Structure 1
Amino acid sequence: MKRSDRLYALMQRLKDGHLHTAEAMAQDLGVSVRTIYRDMDTLAASGVPFEGARGSGYTAQAMITLPPLNLTQTELEALHVGLAAVGSAESDELSAAARALAEKVDAVLPEDVGTPVGKFGFATYPFAEAAQGFRHMPAFRKAIRARQKLRLRLEGEDTMHTVRPLHLDYWGRVWTCVVWDETDASFVTFRIDRVADLTPLPGLFVDEAGKTLKDFHALQS
C-alpha cells in the first residue's frame, strides 16, 4: 500500500468517532507501530483534526469553526484554494505573505474541546497534490444538486465507473466524495484529487433503496 493511500485509510478510520490505538491500526494495515506514529505525525502536520497521543489512542474531531465566522463548505474551499494558489506562486513575497496569513488563521482558531485545531493554510506531503482536485469540484457540486450521474476514472486505474455522487466532505484539506458506484454496485469514498477523467452524463437518478446517502451512513454506524 502506498503511503498516501495508507494515510487516507487512517483518516477514514478516525472518522468513525471511536478511539483507535496505534497497535490496532498497525495490525490492520500490516505496518509497524512506529510507522503509525510517523503517519499520525504527518496527518497532524497536514491539519487533520484529531485528538490523542502515542500510547492513548486517536480519535477524530468535529468540523473546523473560525470565530466569529462559521464557514460553509464552499467558503472553506475558497479559502483553501486562495492560500494554496498564492502560497505556490513564484513570487517569494506573495508566497511568504500567504504562509504568514495561514499562521494568523491558525493563531485565532479556538482551543475548546468541541472545535478542532490545526494548521490550515498548506498541506504537508503527501497531500500537496490535493489542490489538483479543485478543477473537478464544480462538476461534483452540480451533479449532487441535479442528481446527475458521472462517468469517471481514478488515478492508477483503467476502469471507467458510472457513479451517483451523493456527498462531498472536507477532511484536513483533502476533499472526498461518497458515491454509489453503478459499475461495482457498491458505495465508494475517494479523494477528489485522485480523479483522472470526469464526464457528466445526461442520465439523472432518483433515490433507490440501498443506494442513498442515508443507506451509506447506516452501513458506517
Structure 2
Amino acid sequence: MNQVIAALQWLADGANWSGPGGLLARTWEHLWYTALALVVGAVVAVPLGMYIGHTGKGRTFAVGVSGAVRALPSLGLLTLLAVSMGLGLGWAVVPSTIVLALLAVPSLLAATYSGFDQVPDDVVDGARATGFSELQIVGRVELPLALPLMVGGLRAAALQVLATATISAYLGLGGLGRFILDGLSVSDYPRMLGGAIAVGGLALAVDGLILVVQRLVVPRGVHVAVGPTDA
C-alpha cells in the first residue's frame, strides 16, 4: 500500500508532468506509437476483411493467420526484428510499429469480416436487384451496417496495442514504458508503478472515447452490442 501511495504522489507531482521526459510528453509519444500501429494494421486487415466478408472466401485462412499472429511473443519478436534489421535508434520505431501492427491485425480483421458477414443476405440481394454494383453494395450497404462491429474491433485492437506499446522503451524509444524501464534500472518503484497506472488510465480513456464513437456510428434502427469485439 505504501508503494501505491508513493506512486500516486509521484503522479500528483507537477514536476513529473513537464519537460520532454514528463508524463504529458510521454503520453503523446505513447498515443503516437499506438495510432501509427493501428493505421498500419488497418491498411492490411480492413481491405482483407472486407473482401472475405463480402465474398465469403478465405475465412479459414484468416482464422488461421489470426491465431498464428496472436501466438507470437511480442517482446521476443521485437528483439528479433531490432537485431536482424540492424536499425539505429532513429529508426527503432520501425520494428516497434511492425510488432504492434501485427498485434492489431487479428482484432481488426475478425471484426471487419464478421461485420460484413452479419449483413442479412436479403439486404444484399435487394441492393443487387436494384442495380447496385458490387462496389456500391460494399460501400453503401455492407460497410455502414458493418461499421459498428468494425469500430468494436478497433476498440479491442487499440487496447491491446496501447498496453503493449510499453515494450517500445526497450529499443530506446519514448512512451509511458520509459517510466517502467527507467524506474526498474534504479529500483525507483513509485516511478514504475506510476507509469503502469498512467498506462492503465490512458487505456481506459481511449476505450471510453472509442465506445462513444461506436455508439455514434450505429445506423438508426440498428441495434448492436457495444462490448469490445475480438471474434
If the length of structure 2 is used for normalisation, what is the TM-score? 0.28
Structure with larger Rg? 2
If the length of structure 1 is used for normalisation, what is the TM-score? 0.29
Name the structure where helix makes up a greater proportion of residues. Answer: 2
Structure with more contact order per residue of length (Cα contacts < 8 Å, sep ≥ 6): 2
